[in-house]
Structure 1
């Protein structure tokens, strides 16, 4: 999950902090204490856990998020962090409020880093359920966009698509090349939603693509571009 986005900062590192990296991998979890299976979830402990990372505004921000990721042994850019943000129903990239933390971690029954580490495989498994993945994919659009904009800037859109579809959609590398040379500077929600549907229903050779279907113009242009490129 891209977690280093700052609110309204004018620092020179803002652009780098805001972008979601394409790479996605997970370091081995840092060994922690063993959890007794008879230990019960503690709301008080969960709140204390939150304050290990929260700032004075009672929000886990970019710095706290970086330390949190380090402590659970997961890179901020790993897709499991996006799944966790979805579980916490967090609307802002790189920020967890106290309410989001307590509600989400209670549902996961996690009150410490070790318990969350034990849930990472479960969180990753959510991506294997087509219906759940669709919900996470749709959530990612609003999560990643600037809240004063209705669309995703294209750099963020490409990076988020790589995170979500890069390893599962055979045509993604070609689609990414199309976006690189296209006239589009932003991606709206309708385009975002339809890219997932396209990736699930249209075969890699485009043989079942319906030219009379209700696809956005962007995808029609992609198909034409790909056909011309393949014919060269």
Structure 2
């Protein structure tokens, strides 16, 4: 029983450290007092005086190599599909969870379900973790950052195109693109990373102080329907990247969209699709 309790505490400490960057000593102190990780983390951030760890914890190269060897193909040098599935199971994370896109960028994964030893070791060391429990903590931190940090969201979003594109292909298949939009957009909208940006001109006096609503969740469904109905086969890198800017800056009624600007034609056509006088569009904006 004692060994089981010690193991549970070790996992809690690793998660606490992964989220807060605190020392193991401070993690144990908060967990002894508050028991549950979520409550302890909340207390850590809300107490007026907190001994914070200023640097990223050091991670063991040998431990990371041992973990890599556990998951890599027996007849190859990389971790591929089977190892990735086992890794996700050990992390208790769905293989289609959006946070794994952030992990893919941090570990420089060359493509889906593929991890190199160098990327694995360097990436996890940069995050300061070297065990499954501490990696679980790092995933909590990355999930929050991906949802709330616009700059980080954009980095992961842009990396996703390269990561998901098939070797030798210049575009991303529409099915693949829609799948990634379906997990990225809701996460960014809910966390604030895709909060509306409303650029104003100097003569926009009448609008100063007025909060404009931008992209809505249902618009993501319209975008998916548009891509499917128009039978668009592939999404170019330009369309992928510009779509993110479009989502962040478009007004709720699409009234300020400038068709003469350098938007990809796919986005031009989508705006016409959305503004085409449909009952659906009018009812949502009334």
* Distance in 2 separating the partners of 1:102 and 1:147: 24
Q: Which secondary structure does the structure 1 equivalent of 2:126 belong to?
A: helix
Deviation string 1:7-60 (CA, Å, 9 cap, x unpaired) is xxxxxxxxxxxxxxxxxxxxxxxx684347269522111111111111131211
Does residue 1:193 correspond to 2:211, yes or no? no
* Distance in 2 separating the partners of 1:173 and 1:204: 15
Alignment of 1:69-218 (within 5 A): 69-127=88-146, 128-167=148-187, 168=189, 169-170=215-216, 171-218=219-266
Match of 1:46 in 2: 64
* Distance in 1 separating the partners of 2:106 and 2:145: 10
* Distance in 2 separating the partners of 1:230 and 1:150: 34
TM-score, structure 1 as length reference: 0.81
* Distance in 2 separating the partners of 1:32 and 1:163: 33
CA RMSD of aligned residues (A): 1.9
Displacement of 1:230 after TM fit?
2.3
Number of positions where the alignment pairs a residue of Structure 1 with one of Structure 2: 202
Displacement of 1:211 after TM fit?
2.1
Gaps of 5+ in 2: 1-7, 15-23, 26-56, 190-214, 281-286
Q: Which secondary structure does the structure 2 equivalent of 1:111 belong to?
A: coil
* Distance in 1 separating the partners of 2:89 and 2:269: 42
8 Å Cα contact 1:166-1:173 kept in structure 2: no
* Distance in 1 separating the partners of 2:174 and 2:118: 31
8 Å Cα contact 2:174-2:234 kept in structure 1: yes
* Distance in 2 separating the partners of 1:133 and 1:123: 10
**Higher RCO, 1 vs 2 (CA within 8 Å, ≥6 residues apart):** 1
Does residue 1:228 correspond to 2:247, yes or no? no
Match of 2:197 in 1: none
Structure 1 segments (4+ residues) deviating >4 Å: none
8 Å Cα contact 1:88-1:105 kept in structure 2: yes
TM-score, structure 2 as length reference: 0.67
| The 10-residue stretch of structure 1 (35-44 or 211-220) with the greater mean CA deviation from structure 2 | 35-44
